């Protein structure tokens, strides 16, 4: 989550993991993917970043990877919507609030309509 900064992926302070054979490909991020923080403190749920250039990386389990259909929506546009103050307030309204962690699931996220 620390690598999602101002709508982009930061390659500073990367963490490295070993994955079982065949698993890496399933979690590899691709250019135009959007990573969305689904579990964190209430203030950080919804933190979003666009993968705007090729990078060999996998995403953590507390992130949702959104793979936009580029024939229907421009990934940069969708990422900017998710980052916008209006959408962030809608995301936080949909998030469940826990004692130390809040969460939003993909079903709740899909309730948001793209203008």
Closest CA to 43 of 115, 91, 86: 91
Q: Are strands 34-37 and 48-50 parallel, antiparallel or unpaired?
A: antiparallel
Domain ranges for the chain, please list them.
Answer: 4-109
59, 51 contact by CB (below 8 A): no
- Tens digits of residue pLDDT in 35-93: 999 999 888 899 999 999 988 888 988 999 999 999 999 999 999 999 999 999 999 88
pLDDT at 52: 93
Question: Which tokens sit at 62?
Answer: 């507390």
- What is 4-109's CATH number? 3.90.220
The predicted structure's pLDDT at residue 109: 86
Q: What pLDDT was estimated at residue 1?
A: 54
Instruction: Give the C-alpha separation, 10 to 5, whole Å.
Output: 6
Angle at 45 between CA 64 and CA 100, to 5 degrees: 120
């Amino acid at each position: 989550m620390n690598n999602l900064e101002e709508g982009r992926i930061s390659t500073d302070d990367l963490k490295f993991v070993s994955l079982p054979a065949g698993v890496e490909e399933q979690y590899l991020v691709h250019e135009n993917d959007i990573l969305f923080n689904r579990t964190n403190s209430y203030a950080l749920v919804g933190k979003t970043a666009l993968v705007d250039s090729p990078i060999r990386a996998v995403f953590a389990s507390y992130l949702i990877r959104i793979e936009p259909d580029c024939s229907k929506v421009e990934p940069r546009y969708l990422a900017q919507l998710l980052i916008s103050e209006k959408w962030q307030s809608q995301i936080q309204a949909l998030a469940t609030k826990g004692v130390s962690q809040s969460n939003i699931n993909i079903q709740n996220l899909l309730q948001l309509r793209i203008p």
